[in-house]
Amino acid sequence: MSNSIIANQAEHFFGDVCNNFDHAAQFTNHDAGLLDQIKSCNSVYRFRFPIRRGNGFEVIDAWRIEHSHHQSPTKGGIRYSEMVNEDEVMALAALMTYKCAIVNVPFGGAKGGIKINPKNYTLQELENITRRYTVELIKKNFIGPSVDVPAPDYGSGEREMGWIADTYATMNPGQLDALGAVTGKPLALHGIAGRREATGRGVAIAVRECVSVAEDMAKLGLTTGITGKKIIVQGLGNVGYHSAKFLTEFGGIIVGLCEFEGAIYNEDGLDVEEVFQHRKATGSILGFSGAKKEFKNSMEGLEQPCDILVPAALENQITEANIKNIKAKIIAEGANGPTTPGAEAAFYSKGGIIIPDMYANAGGVTVSYFEWLKNLSHVAFGRMNRRFEENSNLNLVNTVESITGISLSPIQRSSIIKGASELELVNSGLEDTMIRSYHEIRETYKSNSKIDTQRTAAFVGAINKIAVSYQNLGVWP
- Catalytic residue ranges: 111
Give, as one character, the DSSP assignment of residue 418.
P
Q: With 0-12 CB in 10 A as exposed, 13-18 as middle and 19+ as buried, what is 473? A: exposed
* H/E stretch holding 79: strand 74-80
CA dist 21 and 105 (Å) reads: 20
> Which amino acid is present at 465?
K
Q: Between the CA of residue 394 and those of 387, 400, 420, 424, what are the distances in Å?
A: 10, 10, 14, 19
Beta strands in 196-347 (DSSP E): 230-234, 253-259, 262-265, 293-295, 308-311, 330-332
* H/E stretch holding 277: helix 272-282
CA dist 332 and 13 (Å) reads: 19
Query: Is the bond leading into 305 cis (omega within 30 degrees of zero)?
Result: no
CA dist 155 and 129 (Å) reads: 13
CA dist 378 and 375 (Å) reads: 5
Select from 423, 361, 348 the least CA-distant residue to 206. 361
Radius of gyration over alpha carbons of the chain, in Å? 23
Angle at 428 between CA 423 and CA 430, to 5 degrees: 95
Select from 62, 78, 52, 56 the least CA-distant residue to 156. 78
Q: Report residue 54 CA to chain centroid gap.
A: 36
Determine the longest span between alpha carbons in the chain, in angstroms.
81
Select from 254, 273, 253, 277 the least CA-distant residue to 264. 254
Q: Between the CA of residue 346 and those of 96, 322, 351, what are the distances in Å?
A: 26, 10, 9
Give, as one character, the DSSP assignment of residue 421.
P
CA dist 1 and 320 (Å) reads: 11
* H/E stretch holding 341: helix 341-349
Query: Is the bond leading into 477 cis (omega within 30 degrees of zero)?
Result: yes
